[in-house]
Structure formats: C-alpha cells, structure tokens
Chain A
Amino acid sequence: MSDNILLEMKHIHKKFPGVYALKDVNFELRAGEVHALLGENGAGKSTLIKCLAGIYIPEEGEVIVKGQSHIMKSVADSQAHGISVIHQELCLVPYLSIAENMFLGRERNIAGVIKRGQENEEAKKMLSRLGLDFDPNTLIKDLSIAQQQMVEIAKALSVKADILVMDEPTASLTDKETEVLFETMRQLKAEGIGIIYISHRMSELFAITDRVTIMRDGQYVGTVNTRETTNDQLIAMMVGRELTQLYFKDEVKPGKVVIEVKDLVSPPFVNGVSFAVREGEIVGMSGLVGAGRSETAHCIFGIDGNYTGQILIDGKPVHIRSVRQAMQNGIAMVPENRKEEGLVLINSVGYNLTLTVLHEIFRGRPLGNSRMENDTITRYIQELAIKTPSAEQLAENLSGGNQQKIVIAKWLATKPKLLILDEPTRGVDVGARAEIYGFMNELAKQGVAILMISSDLPEVINMSDRVLVMHEGKITANLGKNELSQEIIMSFATGTGGKVNAA
C-alpha cells in the first residue's frame, strides 16, 4: 500500500445547539485504500461525511486534501476537490437514461442544445472502465438496484473524483450483487482511488477494507488495520465496553395459556393460523417477507378487524376488531416500522411515551393527572435507559435504538399480558439490541407472554423458547428450543419443510 495520503481530517469539531455532534475527530485516507468508518447509529459518521461533502461546515479543525488545507464550503466546492459521495438512498432520476443521469446539471451542450452523442460516448467509456456493458440510453428504472449503484459510481468517477464515499452501499443488495460491487471497488483501489466505506455489516468490513476507524458518541476512538483486528475488538471499541454477551435468555417455566388463536383467516396473507402462547414464554415467529407474520399480528392487535376465526384470551373467546379492544384484553404491539407506525416523530419523547395510557391519565379528570403523567415518563425513561436530554426532546432527534426503546416503553406502560414485537431490533445498534434482549428476558420472567416476529435468524434462535415458522399464510412448523437451526427454519420458511430433517 502506498503512503500517498489523499485526505486528512484533523481535530474536527461540529456543534449543534446544545450538543457536540463531532468532538476532536481525526480521519485519514490513503490513495488506493478502502477505509471503513464504523460506529453505532448516532456516533457521528454521517456528520463527519457531511463535513467532508460541504453540507456542514465544521467550527474547528483542518481538512487537508492532497496536501492542501481547505474547508469545504459547499457540495460543489467539495466535488471540485475530487470528493464524491454516494448516498444510501440513490439519487438517480428513474425516467431519465443512464447518460442523462450521469451528466445531470453539467450537460454537454452547444448553446443549450444537448450533445447527446458526446454524452453517450463519454458515458459508455465510464461504464466500460467499471467493466459494465450497459447501453447509455437505458432508463434507470429498468436497472436493478445493484446496477443503479454501479451507475452512481460511474457518475461519481465521471467528475474525476479520487475520493469516493460510499454510505451503506450494500443495504439493499443481494450477496451476489455485493460481490460484484466489491470487485469494482478492488479495481478502483488498484487505480489509486481512496474509498471511505460506511457499513454496519462486520463480515463486509473484513472482506473489503484495509483499515477501520471507529467512532463513538461523536468522538474518535481509534484506527486499526483490518488484518490485525477481530470482530470482538471492533464491537468493543464501538460499544465502549466488552460486550461479552448479546443475548440474554433465562429458562422460564411457562405458566397458563395467555392467548390461543384458532383458524385465523384474513385473505390474502393469513390462511388458517392456529397457535398459543403461555405466560413467561418467548415464542419466535419466523418466515420470509410476505409469509403473513405481521398480518397475523395485525389481526390479533385489532388493526385488521376483518378476520374470521377465534381468539381466546385466558381461555375466553374475545372480540377484537380495534386496537382499543386489543388493549383492553391486555395485548400490546411494537410495530415493524417505528418511524411510520411507532412514533409521532415531530412530538416529544414524553408525549410519545404516554400516548397509549392517556385513558388512565385522563380517567375522571378532563384536564389530566399531570403527576401521574410525569411519574410515568420519568419512570420509563429511567427504566429503559432512554438517552435523551429531556422528556421535551422531539422523538426524531433520538437515535434508532432510543426511538425503539420509546416504542417499547409506551407499550410496557399499558402493563400487557401479551407483548407482540415485530422486528424489535431492526435498524437498532448493537448496544441497544443487547438492552432490548435484556428487557425481553426480564418481562418473560415477570410472566408476560411474548410473541416475537423476526427475520433475524440468530435472534430468533437465541431468544425464543419455541419458534413458529410461517409460509404462505400458514404455520408450517412449531419447533422446540433444541430443534432450532438456521437451516431447519429456512427449510420450513421456504415451504420445503422437513426435508433437512429427513436427510
């Protein structure tokens, strides 16, 4: 590896009202290296990148690009210095062609008339440099996500960038597509381009990066050579402590049946589902996307009131056609998408925490019981260790993990008998994940029945007492703790059920 340093960021400080987003952060990028930026959500990675891209201007610190000290004043300024950022959400116009997208904003033209031929030719040259054989006239909407990603890279290179920032480029790619992307990245490395790579997937860091810089709470933690480090060391640096165990699951003797579901049908996704969950039991629900897991939960929780079949709570048949009725029966649900279904983001933490218990706070008191309200808010912020400067902070300003804790807290406040968790740790960083598993374990010990829908197989296997697998709206397996493995779950989830067993 050459010691040719492309970029240095020294002692960068960036303050937002009341908080340091970046505090004395250092970063260095060499020519021909892939340098990962690693940290939990809210660690300051994107803020640092925005300082480099000219979206934010740091208050203090120095940025040295190719030997020249220069603080980026705008995105155009940053691009002029050879820095190109590929954002997580692709910024291509779907109904324009590849070439049109590549030259958007800097069209090759004579007196305003576009030189289509020249654009196509240049685009083709750029694409072939990446080993791509696309027709530049192809519309973006006709490309796969991975192909669009490649076009983004080609576009970035066409502005003569030698510093490339990739923010979670593999988030929506399949394994195969990821491999193609990595091949391209290796080629770019060989050409002396420096790549800053942001990803949460540890395995990828070991596959593609040369060095890793770790950030935590807006501060620089350290830089290590990928070849000399381990998974555990990286996690420890990220979380700030030795995370000896991610999963906490104690043995709990299940009590009486809390909920029993019989022949639940709600076309097209739920086609005859029956199961039961007992006190103190954590039942995992696995399956592919579209298998009808969330839809089943929506029937039980009263979101979908048009089901047929029977739901029994404590052995008694109940009528659940609205969320209100579900709540009256002691059912709580942490939905799949906390930003869309879980939180009123533009309102405060306290407001969100009490949204489910307003009927108690306002019972017999038209103007509410503010003492009870404050007690509830304070209690759950402390109990779930929600990191927020105050209860008045807007929910949208919290990290993903803390937002998820608010959603969990607002349902714990209803003292549920049955807690349904739909993808409880999606988009949650590793520290908060461990905490959430801790809460689940604690709740189970207190006798709460938990139904956990999850696509994260290690999570399902490690946290569940039992796993139900769904396929095409039906439960295809009910697996005990000692029969669990990723292969068996997947075989039932894909409908080839039991073949692994037989083999």
Chain B
Amino acid sequence: MPLDNTLKAQNGFVRYFKENMGTLIGLLIMCVILSFTTNGVFYSQRNLVNVLRQVSSNACLAFGMTFAIITGGIDLSVGSILALSGTLSAGFIVNSGFSVQQAVIAAIVIGTCLGLFNGFVIAKTTIPPFIVTLAMMQIARGAAYIYSNGQPIRAMIPEYQVIGTGYLGPIPYPVIYMAVFLIICVVLLSKTRFGRHVYAVGGNDKAAIFSGVNVARTKMLVYTMSGFLAAFTGVVLCARMASGQPTAGQSFEMDAIAATVLGGTSMSGGVGKIGSTMIGVLIIGVLNNGLNLLGLNSFWQQIAKGIVILLAVYVDMLKKRRK
C-alpha cells in the first residue's frame, strides 16, 4: 500500500486552522457580533490590549493545565499556588527585607516546589491527581492566609509593581510573558521528547512503561511546570495590584480547565494541543470583555460562560463522532 504522507507535508498553519475550525469560527462570530453591538469600542487598540492582558493570567494557568490534563490528570491547586506565591513575594519584600529580585525568585521557587510535591505524590503513589491537587489547593490557600494573617500585604514599590504594570512599547509585560510561555509550551509539547512522553502517559500509561518511558518523571515534570506557571502568574498579578492578596486566584483553576476543554483537550487524556487551549482562553476572554462592554453584570457572565462551554464541547463531540 502506498504511503500517504500528505498530512505530514501539510503546512503547520493550514493544519492548525483545520483542527480548530469550530472554535475559531466561534471566536470570529463573537468578534463580529461585538463589532456591531459596541460601536467599534471592542476594536479599539486600547480594548484589544486590555483583553490580552486580562486573559494572560488564565492563559499561563491553562498552559500548565493542558499538560496535566493530557497526562490524564488535572491540577486543581493552581489558583491557590498563585495566591500563595503572590502573597509571599509581597511579604518577603515588606516583612523580610528581601530585595525585589530575591523575593520574586524565592516566591516562584516555593510555588514551583509545591507543584513538584504534587507531582511527586502523584507519581509515587496511586492517589488520583484530582485528590492530590485538591488537597494542595486547601493547603496552599491556608498557608497564604496564615502568612498574611488574612490581610492583603501592601507593597507600593515601583521596582516590584513594574513586573505587572510595565509596557514594552504598546504591549503590557503580562502579554509578553504569555507570548513567551505560549511559544515555549507549544514547542515543548509538540516538538520535544518530553512532549511525546506526555502524550504517551495520558494515552496509555502501561504502554508507556512497556516502551521505556519514565512515566513517574514525566508526571513530576508536568506538575512542577504547572506549579511554576501558577507561581509566576501569582507574582505578576500581585505586583500589578501592588499588594499580596491571599484571596487572589479564587476559582482560577476552573477557568483554566474551561479554556483547556474548550480547546478540545480530552479529559480522559492523551489528546490536546497548547494552540487550541489558547483559542479557548481567548473565547473566554472575549466573552467576558464583550459582556462587560455591553454592560451585563458579572453574574450573567458566569451563566454565559457555562452555556458556551456546554455548547462548544457538545459540538466538538458531534464532530468527532462523525469521523
């Protein structure tokens, strides 16, 4: 039988559009509707930059979440790790006299270690990731409250604030972080050996073991990465607010899961792409922004988000069944 390599030869972009046709069309329709209903406000440069900045934190969490879900797991602790690292970074400067650099690095290292701990327990025991990270969600949140006595830690230090409020030309720093992580994660997942292993672990972990894949190490790396991204995002968010907020990131894990699922990543593992997750992030971001511009309150936004998730996943399933 002759080998059909046309799929391989296909341009990466063409392939990306084909695979994400449904969500891209959805995103497009939303943008078109908003351009009519907001008198062009939606398309103003200021608003578009705003949307990107708003989605940047969810994007970073969702990248990590995509890795976790592809391995067949989940990471519920990202919102809490975000809060703890953010609070610590402010606290280290204000209370412990760390330099900004030291504080930021220490806070990120601690958050990353919590991710590593998640990964270690998941890899070495049979406790399901849902439970392990649910526990970490409680622990990290509790730690953030204890450290801060439940109060925001004000840190009006320009050198610190700039991490979240700075601009490179017209582009806010958080958007740049997002772009950098997007590229790194796309390459990691689709081009490297580690990425292959991630798919193998989620697609069939037994077959992965029988193929010499180090399943435990792969899982540990995935949760460590997710922890790192959450910690980094936490520092950026608190720097922007000039205050370490122990209540930051409440239910952020749910938005990250929603974006991942919208992008077509299978909750049962083995399937998913970072690029698709990015579309999911944008759909949620544009939806929030659009409903804001239209003056709908945030409670309605939640309902809208729920409906969009249901619809998108249903359409995705129909598409797959027809195949």
Contacts and interface: CB of A to CB of B under 8 A. Distances in A.
A75 to B, nearest CB: 17
Q: Counting chain A CB atoms within 10 Å of each CB, which of B196, B200, B211 scores highest?
A: B211
B209 A344 contact: no
B191 interface: yes
Interface stretch (B4-12, B100-108, B239-247): B4-12
A388 B203 CA distance: 20
Contact of A392 (B7, B197, B213): B7
Q: Counting chain A CB atoms within 10 Å of each CB, which of B1, B200, B204 scores highest?
A: B204
A392 B3 CA distance: 10
A346 interface: yes
A407 to B, nearest CB: 9
B62 to A, nearest CB: 22
A351 B204 contact: no
Interface string B274-318: 000000000000000000000000000000000000000000000
B208 interface: yes
Interface in B1-56: 1, 3-8
A388 B3 CA distance: 8
B207 A343 contact: yes
B187 interface: yes
B183 to A, nearest CB: 13
Contacts of A382: 3
A402 to B, nearest CB: 11
Given A323-B210, A333-B210, A340-B207, A359 B270 contact: no
B251 interface: no
Contacts of B124: none
Contacts of A392: 7-8
A362 B204 CA distance: 22
B193 A362 contact: yes
A391 B193 contact: no
A342 interface: yes
B206 A347 contact: no
A361 B197 CA distance: 13
A391 B210 contact: no
Nearest to A359: B193
B210 A341 contact: yes
Contacts of B4: 389-390
Given A387-B1, A389-B4, A323 B211 contact: yes
Interface stretch (A6-14, A21-29, A366-374, A425-433): A366-374
B214 A324 contact: yes
A390 B5 contact: yes
A174 to B, nearest CB: 29
A366 B199 contact: no
Q: What's the interface size class on B, roughly? A: 20 to 34
A207 B36 CA distance: 75
A343 B204 contact: yes
A107 B192 CA distance: 57
A143 interface: no
A340 B206 contact: yes
A301 B204 CA distance: 19
A137 interface: no
Contacts of A359: 193
B282 to A, nearest CB: 26
A340 B211 CA distance: 12
Given A368-B193, A389-B1, A346 B210 contact: no
A342 B192 contact: no
A347 B199 contact: yes
Describe B's contact surface by its main secondary structure.
Answer: helix
Interface residues of A, number: 39
Contacts of A351: 196, 199
B204 A344 contact: yes
Q: Counting chain A CB atoms within 10 Å of each CB, which of B192, B207, B213, B270 scores highest?
A: B207
A500 interface: no
Nearest to B190: A367
A302 to B, nearest CB: 8
Contacts of A362: 192-193
A421 to B, nearest CB: 13
Contact of B213 (A341, A355, A388): A355
A381 interface: yes
A52 B107 CA distance: 64
Q: Counting chain B CB atoms within 10 Å of each CB, which of A335, A390, A410 scores highest?
A: A390
Contact of A367 (B187, B197, B271): B187
Contacts of B319: none
A50 B304 CA distance: 41
Contact of B196 (A326, A358, A381): A358
Contacts of B270: 344, 346-347
A344 B8 CA distance: 19
B97 interface: no
A345 interface: yes
A355 B200 contact: yes
A40 B319 CA distance: 30
B169 interface: no
A356 interface: yes
Interface in A368-425: 368, 374, 378, 381-382, 387-392, 410
A327 interface: yes
A368 B212 contact: no
A359 to B, nearest CB: 7
A502 B204 CA distance: 49
A277 to B, nearest CB: 20
A88 B209 CA distance: 30
A17 interface: yes
Contact of A335 (B203, B210, B214): B210
B15 to A, nearest CB: 10
A389 B6 CA distance: 11
Contact of A356 (B5, B7, B203, B211): B211
Nearest to A345: B204
A303 interface: yes
A59 B208 CA distance: 40
Given A346-B270, A389-B4, A390-B7, A366 B210 contact: no
Contacts of A326: 212
Interface string A177-219: 0000000000000000000000000000000000000000000
Q: Counting chain A CB atoms within 10 Å of each CB, which of B5, B6, B208 scores highest?
A: B5
A434 to B, nearest CB: 18
B207 A358 contact: no
Given A391-B3, A391-B5, A410-B211, 4 more contacts: A341-B209, A344-B207, A362-B192, A390-B5
6 contacts: A341-B207, A343-B207, A361-B193, A368-B191, A368-B192, A381-B3
Q: Which 6 A-B pairs have the closest CB atoms?
A: A344-B203, A390-B4, A323-B212, A362-B193, A392-B7, A367-B191
Interface of A: 17, 301, 303, 322-324, 326-327, 333, 335, 340-347, 351, 355-356, 358-359, 361-362, 366-368, 374, 378, 381-382, 387-392, 410
